[in-house]
Amino acid sequence: MLLLRLLLKNCLRHRLRSLLTLVGLVVAISAFGLLRTLVDAWYAGVEASASTRLVTRNAISLTFTLPLSYAERIRGVAGVSGLSWANWFGGVYITERNFFPQFAVDPESYLALYPEYGLADDQKQAFLRDRQGAIVGRKLADKFGWKVGDQIPLRGTIYPGTWTFPLRGIYDGAEPSTDEQQMFFHWKYLRESARKRAGPGSSDTVGVFIVGIDDASEAAAISQRIDALFRNSLAETLTETEKAFQLSFVSMSEAILVAIEAVSLIIIVIIMAVMANTMAMTARERLAEYATLRVLGFTPAFVSRLLIAESLLIAIAGGLAGVAATFPLAALVGRATGTLFAVFQVSHLTVGLQLLAALVIGGVASAWPAWRISRLDIVSGLRQVA
pLDDT band at 69 (very low <50, low <70, confident <90, very high): very high
Same domain, 17 and 78: no
For the stretch 242-271, pLDDT in tens is 988 888 777 667 778 788 889 888 999 888
Residue 122 makes CB contacts below 8 A (sequence gap 6+) with none
Q: Can you give the residue range of the structural domain that contains 11?
A: 2-44+253-383
Q: Poorest-confidence range of 152-156, 160-164, 232-236, 373-377?
A: 373-377
Same domain, 108 and 226: yes
Residue 386 has pLDDT above 80, yes or no: no
Q: Indicate the DSSP class of residue 204.
A: P
User: Last residue of a domain, which of 235, 262, 292?
Assistant: 235
Contact 141, 152 (CB under 8 A): no
The torsion of the CA quartet 202, 204, 205, 208, rounded to 10 degrees, works out to 170
Share the mean pLDDT of the chain: 85
The torsion of the CA quartet 173, 174, 176, 179, rounded to 10 degrees, works out to -30
Across residues 339-357, what is the average pLDDT? Answer: 86
Spatial separation of the C-alpha atoms in residues 189 and 163, rounded to whole Å: 11
User: Last residue of a domain, which of 202, 235, 268?
Assistant: 235
Same domain, 112 and 212: yes
Helix axes 300-337, 2-11, angle to 10 degrees: 60
Could you give phi then psi for residue 130, rounded to 5 degrees? -95, 105
Q: Would 70 be classed as within a structural domain?
A: yes
pTM: 0.77
Check residue 157 and give its pLDDT.
Answer: 87
Same domain, 78 and 190: yes
For the stretch 22-40, pLDDT in tens is 888 999 999 999 999 988 8
For the stretch 146-174, pLDDT in tens is 999 999 999 988 888 889 999 999 999 98
User: Last residue of a domain, which of 189, 205, 235?
Assistant: 235
Same domain, 35 and 154: no
Residue 352 makes CB contacts below 8 A (sequence gap 6+) with none
Could you give phi then psi for residue 259, rounded to 5 degrees? -65, -40
Same domain, 70 and 158: yes
Q: Is 322 exposed, middle or buried (0-12, 13-18, 19+ CB in 10 A)?
A: buried
Q: Would 55 be classed as within a structural domain?
A: no
Check residue 379 and give its pLDDT.
Answer: 58
Q: Would 176 be classed as within a structural domain?
A: yes
Contact 316, 370 (CB under 8 A): no
Contact 264, 32 (CB under 8 A): yes
Residue 185 has pLDDT above 70, yes or no: yes
Across residues 278-306, what is the average pLDDT? Answer: 71
Q: Would 246 be classed as within a structural domain?
A: no
Spatial separation of the C-alpha atoms in residues 330 and 320, rounded to whole Å: 16
Residue 331 has pLDDT above 60, yes or no: yes
